[in-house]
C-alpha cells in the first residue's frame, strides 16, 4: 500500500510483474483530479495512450470527451485510469494474469482518490472490479454499491465506435451518474 501518489507511480514505472512491460513505450498511470468524487476505469491503453502515456486520448477517448462536454463533466475534475497500465499487444483484452498483476495498483489508486462513484467502462473493468460472473450486457446501466462506493457499469467507448446503437445506452448511463451527483448532498 502506497500512501503517496509519487511512490505509487514510481512503483508502476518500475513494474516487471507481467510480459506487458516488455513492449510498452510508456506506462499509462492515470490522470485527473486525485481527489475526484467521480472515477472512470477502462480496460487498458491503446496505441495512442501508450505513445502519450495518458489514458483515453485516442478515438475512444475523443468520443468520451464529447460525452463529457455534452453532460457538463469536466475531464480535469474526474480521475481516469485503466485495469492494466501497459498496452496489450494489438489492443487485445488483457489476460487474467496481466490484469491481476495491476489490480493492487488500481486498488491503491481508488484508496487514494476516494471516489463516491466509479464508472466501469466495459466488460474487463466490470469483471475485474466486481466479479468474473458479471456480464456487461446485463449489468450496464444498473447501480451496484460495494463498500460505500457506487459503481455504474457501461459500455467502453471503443464499443461505441464499433456499434453506434450503444451510444444511446452509454449516454443514458452517464446521465444517471450526473443525476446521482445532482441529487446527492456533498
Question: For 15-27, what is the mean pLDDT?
Answer: 95
Instruction: Look at residue 186 and tell me whether its pLDDT is greater than 70.
Output: no
* Secondary-structure percent of the chain, ordered helix, strand, coil, rounded to 5: 50, 15, 35
In order of 34, 41, 123, 135, 168, the CA distances from 110 in angstroms are 9, 10, 19, 22, 28
Q: In CATH, what is the architecture of 5-179?
A: 3-Layer(aba) Sandwich (3.40)
Mind listing the pLDDT tens digit for each residue in 103-115?
A: 999 999 999 999 9
DSSP E strand stretches across 12-164: 31-32, 38-42, 79-82, 117-121, 144-146, 149-154
Q: Find out whether 129 and 121 touch, Cβ atoms under 8 Å.
A: no
**126-183 residue pLDDT tens:** 999 999 999 999 999 999 999 999 999 999 999 999 999 999 999 999 999 999 998 8
Q: pTM (2 decimals)?
A: 0.96
pLDDT at residue 2, rounded to an integer: 84
Question: Could you tell me the CA-to-CA distances from 62 to 10, 87, 169 in Å, in that order?
Answer: 28, 18, 18
Tens-place pLDDT, residues 37-92: 999 999 999 999 999 999 999 999 999 999 999 999 999 999 999 999 999 999 99
Residue with cell 512491460: 21
Let me know: does 151 contact 41? Beta carbons within 8 Å: no
The predicted structure's pLDDT at residue 184: 81
Contact indicator for 34, 112 with CB cutoff of 8 Å? yes
Q: Please report, for the chain, the start and end positions of each structural domain, with discontinuous segments joined by +.
A: 5-179
Amino acid at each position: 500500500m502506497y500512501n503517496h501518489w509519487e511512490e505509487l507511480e514510481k512503483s508502476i514505472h518500475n513494474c516487471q510483474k507481467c510480459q506487458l512491460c516488455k513492449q510498452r513505450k510508456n506506462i499509462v498511470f492515470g490522470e485527473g483530479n486525485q481527489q475526484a468524487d467521480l472515477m472512470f476505469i477502462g480496460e487498458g491503453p491503446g496505441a495512442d495512450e501508450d505513445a502519450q502515456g495518458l489514458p483515453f486520448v485516442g478515438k475512444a477517448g475523443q468520443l468520451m470527451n464529447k460525452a463529457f462536454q455534452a453532460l457538463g463533466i469536466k475531464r480535469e475534475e474526474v480521475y481516469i485510469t485503466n485495469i492494466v497500465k501497459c498496452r496489450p499487444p494489438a489492443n487485445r483484452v488483457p489476460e487474467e494474469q496481466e490484469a491481476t498483476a495491476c489490480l493492487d495498483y488500481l486498488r491503491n489508486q481508488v484508496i487514494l482518490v476516494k471516489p463516491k462513484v466509479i464508472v466501469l467502462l466495459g466488460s474487463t473493468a466490470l469483471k475485474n472490479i466486481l466479479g468474473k460472473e458479471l456480464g456487461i450486457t446485463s449489468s450496464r446501466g444498473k447501480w451496484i454499491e460495494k463498500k460505500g462506493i457506487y459503481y455504474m457499469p457501461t459500455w467502453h467507448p471503443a464499443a461505441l465506435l464499433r456499434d453506434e446503437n450503444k451510444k444511446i445506452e452509454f449516454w443514458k448511463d452517464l446521465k444517471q451518474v450526473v443525476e446521482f451527483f445532482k441529487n446527492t448532498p456533498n
